[in-house]
Structure 1
Amino acid sequence: MLKKISVHQLGLGMHLQEFCGSWMEHPFFRSSFVLTDPKDMAAILGSSIKEVWIDCDKGLDVAAGEAAVSEAESQAQVDDEIKQMAAGQRQIAPVSAVQELERAAKICQRSKQAVLTMFEEARMGNAVDVDGAKLLVEEITDSVSRNPGALISLARLKTADDYTYMHSVAVCAMMVALAKQLGLDEAQTRSCGLAGLLHDLGKAVMPMEVLNKPGKLSDAEFTIIKSHPVEGHKMLLGGVNVDPIVMEVCLHHHEKTDGSGYPDRQSGDQISLWARMGAVCDVYDAITSNRPYKSGWDPAEALRKMAEWTKGHFDPKVFQAFVKSMGIYPVGSLVRLTSGRIGVVMEQTGKSLTTPSVKVFFSTKSNMRIMPQLIDLSSPDTREKIAAREDPAQWRFADLNELWSGLPGVIW
């Protein structure tokens, strides 16, 4: 039986079922475990969490005579919360990118550590904590609902060493945004987010010297890497009631519509919608991220090249929806306006894919930096338009990421 109690009522031997509040407010990736370590008790008491749910059937109860929410009331609250989540009744108010970026940065930091822990557990042969992963997906989904560009763009700023872990976070966020663009329901959207988070789970058992090799893989090494979808699928099969969408994306996110993908060489309609979504999100983050053997492409340039690959690689309708969710010029893209000023895309305006909000900071006419100015290209008072994409590698603006994120030196 579940009970909601104050953290000050917690005792060793109790089965902690769930924290009341955001997973970012407590120091644990997992939220369902028996309290056996006094250090864990101290960490909970030192956090901002005030109440928790305990399961009296799996651990000790509160002391006799101590006040707690009644068992009947506890179960009723749990049932009501579950029903609200299933019905998609959680209301998330949209905010600007500037407002969401700082919160998204905290989510990225916690997410990286959570995924790192999850991969380490999988590497040791332990079962995947799907319930803990769902809490992470919920927080990421909320951020995407408030502003899709913030977390997705920040997750792109990963080091080559942390690519595997932050890649999972980025694909999770993009799968959520794409699901919303495709009009999927709340349950399907959460499943897509979880699928994005776990799609590369099989890489946990890949040899690190192959996974992080700073150069082209040999045929033998590539064969090893190509086994990661099957290995991840095996891990998920060992779990309990794992979502079929998660299983499908894990196994088939490297299939291509022309049948040249792996592991099953599926083609066309043989590839599920979920796997087609996973393929687009996976490739976009891969080519826009810095890897051990190459630097990432500019977001807008990446979309242009992916459009050239659509025939034979991606589902055209899914790719079109992906572009709509990201914008033709995603956040962080470097562009030149018709005035000759260069700026970085800050946010999509919702009115047109070609009229985002841009922060200009350099004049090509005077060849010097200018005072940064935010321009909403969708405003009827604005005559400026985007004239072309610019290659960040050619300009080498050292503070480019800071200009759009507002976060100095941000990198995961």
Structure 2
Amino acid sequence: MDVVSEETRYQLEDAMSRTVEDIRAAMNEATRSGMRHFSPTIRVEGLRQTIDQIITELLANPRVAVNLQDIRSADQYTLSHSVNVCILSTLLGAELGYPLSDLRTLALGTLLHDIGKIAIPPEILNKPGRLTLEEAEAMKQHTILGWELLKNQPEIPPTAAVVALQHHERWAGGGYPHGLSGNQIYRFARVCAICDCYDAMTSDRIYRKGLSPAMALESLSGPMHGFFDPQMLLAFLNCIAPWPVGSMVELTGGRKAVVVAAERGRADRPRVRVLLEADGTRIATPYEIDLFRERHVEVVRELHESAEQYMSELAG
């Protein structure tokens, strides 16, 4: 099931696209006029209206563990990424118990977290391969550029602007632009850091294939765990389904099953329908196992084959 409707997601992408184009037009005009400093007014009424709709839809399904396919579109990466991070961050904020006022500010800040990339040269922003050291340093400036764009906007809370500045800071230190750590990093930026990394890792890019949700979550909680607030990371792991509904998985003992449901708070223990025995024999009457209750059974790995062929044949 979609936690955010396709119509709502596209409305937000459209509103965000218009906001970006307005800023870009103002920057071009400032360049033509020879202005060294400028501060375009960013209108966010349209963004706020759609954000409220997203919050309403997310809160209407409090038990559903989110599959990334539920929120992802195939449009241009930066725009789609901003919308994905907004939705994931709002979901995580709700899991953390944030009140509605905080969810609205969090959603706006995470939607605009990469707005500074507007000022990054396209040849760097869209480079298909690895950036040089100089290009990487230029790219890092998007955090400061985003802060400069947002900090004095009358319609944008200062806390939302801080997300643009701090979303690449790391819990254990070593991030940028200021090398902050722990609670020195504002809480909304800590939320954004998790969702930003997760969506980036699972997105297909020109130069690489995205990781599966399970592999990305394993990276977040394993090699990268020092990057993130541990309590927020645990809450995020409770929200996100490692194995999307409809995917094929191998269970303990070699049986193959299709994931049929995953609930918030136990997303790593979904309900599955067993289709094949370990030797590949099709089960005449498929049966379901709730892995949350049957603790001796686990998902060993996700399979890249589709469940649809088995389901259609069994149905026939």
CA deviations 1:272-314 (Å, max 9, x no partner) are 2111111101000100111122111110111111111344311
Match of 2:299 in 1: 387
- What is the DSSP-based 3-state SS (H/G/I as helix, E as strand, rest coil) of the residue aligned with 1:390? strand
CA distance in 2, matches of 1:366, 1:317: 41
1:112 maps to 2:20: no
* Letter aligned with residue 214 of structure 2: A
The 5 A counterparts of 1:253-272 are 253-272=167-186
Cα offset, 1:178, TM superposition: 0.9
Of the three residues 206, 213, 219, the one matched with 2:120 is 206
CA distance in 1, matches of 2:241, 2:274: 18
The 5 A counterparts of 1:131-150 are 131-147=45-61, 149=65
CA distance in 1, matches of 2:199, 2:254: 30
The 5 A counterparts of 1:85-100 are 97=1, 100=2
C-alpha change, 1:285 and 1:343, in structure 2 (3 Å) is farther
CA distance in 2, matches of 1:130, 1:180: 22
* Letter aligned with residue 388 of structure 1: V
CA distance in 2, matches of 1:204, 1:371: 57
CA distance in 2, matches of 1:332, 1:261: 37
The 5 A counterparts of 1:300-319 are 300-319=214-233
The 5 A counterparts of 1:206-245 are 206-245=120-159
CA deviations 1:64-107 (Å, max 9, x no partner) are xxxxxxxxxxxxxxxxxxxxxxxxxxxxxxxxx2xx46x62222
Q: TM-score, normalised by structure 1?
A: 0.63
Task: Give 5+ residue unaligned stretches, structure 1.
Answer: 1-96, 404-412
CA distance in 1, matches of 2:95, 2:221: 18
* Letter aligned with residue 158 of structure 1: A
Q: Please tell me whether the aligned partners of residues 105 and 159 of structure 2 are also in contact (alpha carbons under 8 angstroms).
A: yes
Of the three residues 238, 243, 249, the one matched with 1:324 is 238
C-alpha change, 1:177 and 1:388, in structure 2 (3 Å) is same
C-alpha change, 1:374 and 1:200, in structure 2 (3 Å) is farther
Match of 2:30 in 1: none
Mean Cα displacement is larger for which, 348-357 or 113-122?
348-357
**More relative contact order, 1 or 2 (CA 8 Å, 6+ apart):** 2
* Letter aligned with residue 275 of structure 1: A
* Letter aligned with residue 115 of structure 1: M
Q: Please tell me whether the aligned partners of residues 153 and 332 of structure 1 are also in contact (alpha carbons under 8 angstroms).
A: no
C-alpha change, 1:138 and 1:374, in structure 2 (3 Å) is farther
CA distance in 2, matches of 1:143, 1:152: 16
Cα offset, 1:189, TM superposition: 1.5
1:155 maps to 2:50: no
1:274 maps to 2:175: no
CA distance in 2, matches of 1:215, 1:372: 49
Q: Please tell me whether the aligned partners of residues 152 and 173 of structure 1 are also in contact (alpha carbons under 8 angstroms).
A: no
CA distance in 1, matches of 2:125, 2:281: 42
Q: Please tell me whether the aligned partners of residues 157 and 289 of structure 1 are also in contact (alpha carbons under 8 angstroms).
A: no
Q: Please tell me whether the aligned partners of residues 143 and 177 of structure 2 are also in contact (alpha carbons under 8 angstroms).
A: yes
Of the three residues 283, 290, 310, the one matched with 1:377 is 290
CA distance in 1, matches of 2:298, 2:272: 9
Cα offset, 1:127, TM superposition: 2.7
Cα offset, 1:180, TM superposition: 1.3
Between structure 1 and structure 2, the one with the greater Rg is: 1
The 5 A counterparts of 1:169-188 are 169-188=83-102
CA deviations 1:100-123 (Å, max 9, x no partner) are 46x622222333222222222222
C-alpha change, 1:361 and 1:190, in structure 2 (3 Å) is farther
Cα offset, 1:252, TM superposition: 0.2
Report the number of matched residues: 295
Q: Please tell me whether the aligned partners of residues 230 and 251 of structure 1 are also in contact (alpha carbons under 8 angstroms).
A: yes
Task: Give 5+ residue unaligned stretches, structure 2.
Answer: 27-39, 312-316
Cα offset, 1:399, TM superposition: 7.5
- What is the DSSP-based 3-state SS (H/G/I as helix, E as strand, rest coil) of the residue aligned with 1:389? strand
CA distance in 2, matches of 1:104, 1:140: 8
Identity %: 32
- What is the DSSP-based 3-state SS (H/G/I as helix, E as strand, rest coil) of the residue aligned with 2:233? helix
CA distance in 2, matches of 1:305, 1:331: 21
Q: Please tell me whether the aligned partners of residues 127 and 238 of structure 1 are also in contact (alpha carbons under 8 angstroms).
A: no
Cα offset, 1:354, TM superposition: 3.4
The 5 A counterparts of 1:14-163 are 97=1, 100=2, 104-125=5-26, 126-147=40-61, 149=65, 152-158=68-74, 162-163=76-77
Q: Please tell me whether the aligned partners of residues 127 and 235 of structure 1 are also in contact (alpha carbons under 8 angstroms).
A: no
C-alpha change, 1:200 and 1:111, in structure 2 (3 Å) is same
Cα offset, 1:193, TM superposition: 1.3
Match of 2:31 in 1: none
